[in-house]
Amino acid sequence: MAERVFVIVLDSVGIGEAPDAGDYGDTGSNTVKACYDTGKLSVPNMRRLGLFNIDGNSYGGSVDAPEGAFARLRELSKGKDTTTGHWEMMGIISEKPFPTYPEGFPPEIIHEFEEKTGRRVICNKPYSGTAVIADYGEEHMKTGALIVYTSADSVFQIAAHEDIVPVEELYRYCEIAREILCGEHAVGRVIARPFTGSHPFTRTTRRHDFSLTPTKKTVLDRVNEAGLTCFGVGKINDIFAGAGLNGFVRTEGNTDGMRKTAEFAAKNDWKGLCFVNLVDFDMLYGHRNDVAGYTAGLNEFDEWVGGFMKSMRPDDVLMITADHGCDPTTPSTDHSREYVPLLIYGNSIEPTNYGTMDGFDNVGKFVLKYLGLE
């Protein structure tokens, strides 16, 4: 039994098309292989844990004696977004996907949002987050209108310049949108997207996600109710609307997230779960089809995790996984329906090939098992 479990989600690091990828337009997607094919992927630490021994891999070079347990996980929920993937990890299978808006949000939603915020809305269509501020930033600066946009995911995103709309005010507008977007229009996330500068504009790190509250109790609640620490790093608190957590810290990207994870691991006064999301793989690289950046990000994480493993205590367990794919080499810039890897390491972990496992919820099941909880 472990005293501390670290679950690190490499946001969007999928490992090959899922059986139903064709239903989502994602046939052929393989995020890790896309990075491997650059010839610049260097992940020796994850390789020795068994990354390239995972079912379905024919690249990267398997190792004869992996040091960790490993598997690939198939998502059971409908959809391929962040909220769905993380919720399933912690025990919630979503029978129907969250609503999406390829034609923009309906007039009644926009009208109510404008009335309650006192600001006009511009854009209201699917858009790239960097392109939308380039195309609508000047109009927003002149008029104070809010830039509302979406994507292929179930998101209502609000972009505003910090000089025009202070960040706390933008967060309040997001809370208003979150209250409006319920019932049939209950999108997975409302996202604040602050930016600064003048043409060209730059998005800041003060993004904040406002998710739905989980529809039932999760593994996080179970850990918390057992009197153990349940700590979130990165956007974990946002994804679960704080439910089940008894502590969290936000991050400003992967490097900051890894640093804060290591700092929390160095503390002596806790037992339980540290649940981490490293968002740059998805936000900076996958959605921008930046395969070089994605590959460099994986290399950076692998170097860091090698040091982290050396610092682990005898009763620590490390789990590395993902919430969906986002192949940076396909024509699409959206998430891809893929298997995700699962790597498990610790003194108490017997190297095992678990093969292909149905359900991201196996992550949560392992967490409970290692912490000695039913």
Pair 222, 116 in one domain: no
Domain count, the chain: 2
- 35-59 average pLDDT score: 97
What pLDDT was estimated at residue 200?
Answer: 93
Burial bucket for residue 78 (CB in 10 Å: 0-12, 13-18, 19+): middle
Pair 144, 235 in one domain: no
**Torsion sign (Cα): 79, 84, 88, 92:** negative
Pair 361, 297 in one domain: yes
pLDDT of 199 strictly over 90: no
Domain at 162, CATH number: 3.30.70.1250
Examine the fold and report which residue of 163, 182, 211 is the final residue of a domain before the chain moves on.
Answer: 211
What pLDDT was estimated at residue 374?
Answer: 85
pLDDT of 153 strictly over 90: no
pLDDT digits (tens, 9 = 90+) for 278-317: 999 998 999 999 999 999 999 999 999 999 999 999 999 9
Examine the fold and report which residue of 164, 179, 211 is the final residue of a domain before the chain moves on.
Answer: 211
**Residue 99 belongs to a domain:** no
**Residue 236 belongs to a domain:** yes
pLDDT digits (tens, 9 = 90+) for 259-274: 999 999 999 899 999 9
Pair 258, 197 in one domain: no
pLDDT band, very low/low/confident/very high, at 96 (cuts 50, 70, 90): confident
pLDDT band, very low/low/confident/very high, at 103 (cuts 50, 70, 90): very high
Q: How far apart are CA 161 and CA 167, in angstroms?
A: 9
Burial bucket for residue 107 (CB in 10 Å: 0-12, 13-18, 19+): exposed
Pair 358, 234 in one domain: yes
**Residue 100 belongs to a domain:** no
**Residue 53 belongs to a domain:** yes
Contacts of 273 (CB under 8 A, 6+ apart): 4, 5, 6, 7, 219, 220, 223, 228, 229, 230, 231, 367, 371
Q: How far apart are CA 202 and CA 199, in angstroms?
A: 9
pLDDT digits (tens, 9 = 90+) for 225-266: 999 999 999 999 999 999 999 999 999 999 999 999 999 999
Confidence (pTM): 0.90
Average pLDDT across the chain, whole number = 96
Examine the fold and report which residue of 163, 178, 211 is the final residue of a domain before the chain moves on.
Answer: 211
What pLDDT was estimated at residue 12?
Answer: 97
What pLDDT was estimated at residue 189?
Answer: 92
What pLDDT was estimated at residue 75?
Answer: 98
Domain assignment of residue 314, given as a range: 4-92+214-371
User: What tokens were used for 35?
Assistant: 């990075």
pLDDT of 152 strictly over 90: no
Pair 78, 135 in one domain: no
Pair 255, 334 in one domain: yes
